[in-house]
Structure 1
Amino acid sequence: MTSGVRQRLTQQERSDRTRELLLDATVDCLVELGYARTSMNEICRRAGLSRGAQQHHFTTKAELMAHAVEHLVGKLSDQLRAVSTLPPPGPDRIAAAIDLLWRAFSGSLSTAAMELWVAARTDPELRAAMHPIDRGLARSTIEVYRELLGDQLGEERLEKLFWLTVNITRGLALDAMIGGDQQRRDQLLDEWKAIATSLSES
């Protein structure tokens, strides 16, 4: 009995590992190659897996792409929750929370998600796969904001701060992708932090 249980656990662990390899390889391809140049063969090559192994976990390219973003979101949420050096409640804590969201949305997540949303505009299958992932991203990220700022902001004000920050950081991340001026982005982010902290005190 014990041997049988252990065998099932080992198989599950192998399955989870295969899935993680595929998702990590997909994110790498999206960031390095873009959506148009990312093929299932290249993903499998980078993951060191066969097409059969890939098809066992993800039947379509759209499904794999959407879950790769979800996978990255989970990792980023874990990283945000692991932060233990935020200032105590107050204006500095709000500025630090904005910095956290900027770091999350200006890295691999922003690049991978942007690639997929541009492609999804003319790909109904990909668009359908991405919608629930995007909603999940919003839920998981705003939950982190509740944990960080819920003790000093009401729900309505917290949600407004969150969505304004998300849209500002997405715009700044796009500016970075197309070669915009980094000093200007830093100034704009600092200006938003000043505005956000002043609004929280009003």
Structure 2
Amino acid sequence: MRKATTETYIKKLLKSEVGKKIGEILQEQYKKWKQNLELKDFYHFIQLIWKKYEKEIMKALKGEIQLIGQFRAFAFEEYVHDLILRKTNLKKLGLDIFWNEPIEVWRGIIIDQGKLIEETYTTQFDLTIGKQQNKTIIPLIVIETKVDVDAPRLKAVMANFSLLKTLNPSVFCTLIYINWNAKKTLKHIAKAVINNIYQFNPEEKDETKFIQDIINYLTI
């Protein structure tokens, strides 16, 4: 589970003289989409952060441009997390959803100072649907959420998914984005590694298809 969430940023704004009013506006919109999970309301929340109050938020929180990116990114993860929890029956299937938890993507033997040592390597995915056995998460579906997809971000996602599929070929890998800023050709190339790619915005309505695909995959 992420230590910093959407509320973390909103609370900081509410404590700031400069950002208190903006914090109240964002808090109201946050409560709205948390309750109804309407994509149009979440999308409006994201636009408020990026388009309308970007400079004021940065001034109030004394941050750089990356702070705005994190604010939006964590909110997007939270929206998809809540959408899955509310629209699927994971508990009835004996499954859970893990938020930004380490997932094993490599396991092997290395030689260290003449000794054979078994090692593992993990990476943190935005969201994982699966089971926890002892302290290890067994993934069935792994989801990366990106507000903006550019070539470097897409290549990083593909690299992590490729590693994961080498260890566990049956894992279903999903990318959800809002804005696509990479070449369209890269989307077709990415499908060699990524099982499904969805765009979440009020026009596309991909969130409905995403949930149905999750349900179908888990109940086959």
Task: Give the TM-score normalised by the residue count of structure 1.
Answer: 0.34
Higher helix share: 1
More relative contact order in 1 or in 2 (CA 8 Å, sep 6+)? 1
Task: Give the TM-score normalised by the residue count of structure 2.
Answer: 0.32
